[in-house]
Amino acid sequence: MNPLLIVTLILLVVSGIGLIIFILLHSGKGTGISDAIASSVYSTQTGTSIVEKNLDRITIIFAVIFLLSLLVLMIIYPHGTISK
């Protein structure tokens, strides 16, 4: 296997796992009954905090890395050209 293929696949897998983790870390924006109950119990501050902004930035970085590695794989190795 080509070293470029190995590096690109590692970047794709790591960024995909990072995307899943950081998307799940985001706070919910629900408007259902559970959110109504939770908002009466916990007084939340409106707006986004510094932690949420940093979480957004990290998620965007992982998404860009994921998309770029996917594009590199699509351009360098078109369908059916990777040999075993």
Q: Which residue has the higher pLDDT, 75 or 37?
A: 75
Q: How far apart are CA 67 and CA 44, in angstroms?
A: 34
* pLDDT classification of 50: cutoffs 50, 70, 90: confident
Query: What does pTM read for this prediction?
Result: 0.71
Q: Which residue has the higher pLDDT, 47 or 26?
A: 26
Q: How far is CA 3 from CA 7, 10, 38, 69, in A?
A: 6, 11, 50, 14
On whether the CB atoms of residues 11 and 69 are closer than 8 A, the answer is: yes
Q: Read off the amino acid at residue 4.
A: L
Measured on CA atoms in the order 33, 35, 36, 38, is the torsion positive or negative? positive
Mean per-residue pLDDT over the chain, rounded? 80
